[in-house]
Amino acid sequence: MIARARASALIFSLAALFAGPSPAAEDVTLLKDLTSVIMLLGLPCGQVVSAKRQADNDHIASCKNGNRYRVFVNAEGRVVAQKQ
């Protein structure tokens, strides 16, 4: 009886821990967005596999082919991808 109670408590606590919007979904959206931008700018990348946020609208994107780009919005409002 005690074991069952412990197990159910563990399950509930884990469910509470993983409930809510997962950050992975947001990551996937961002990675897709960065992939599209780099593709749109005509730069070789393939697919962005990871991204590190530096500031608002400023990310370091790591591509599948090993390239790294800093994708940001400059002062003129243009999206720029700078190879690192």
Partner 1 sequence: MDEAIPAWRQVSGATLKTCAEKMMPAVRTIGILFFALAAGCAGVKETPPSVIAQSGPLIVDPSLIGRNQDGAAAPEPPRAEAIQEAVALAPPPAGPRQPVVTGDNAIGNEPVAGAPAPPSKSQSVAKAAPPPAKAPAKISASPAAIEQPRKKEDPPPVVKKLEPPLDVAALKARLRDTNAIGVFTKLALKNQVDDLLKQFRAHYVSGQKTSVAALRQPYDMLVLKVLALVQDSDPSLARTISGSREAIWSILADPEKFNSVV
Q: Which of 44, 79, 82, 84 binds partner 1 (CB under 8 A)?
A: 79
Integer Cα distance of 25 and 29 in angstroms: 6
- Which of these ranges, 7-15, 16-24, 26-34, 62-70, lies near partner 1 under the rule CB under 8 A? 26-34
Q: How far is CA 33 from CA 16, 50, 71, in A?
A: 30, 12, 11
- Which of these ranges, 2-10, 15-23, 30-38, 62-70, lies near partner 1 under the rule CB under 8 A? 30-38
Q: Is the dihedral of CA 27, 47, 67, 76 positive or negative?
A: negative
Chain positions contacting partner 1, by CB under 8 A: 29-30, 32-34, 36-37, 40-41, 57, 71, 73, 77-79
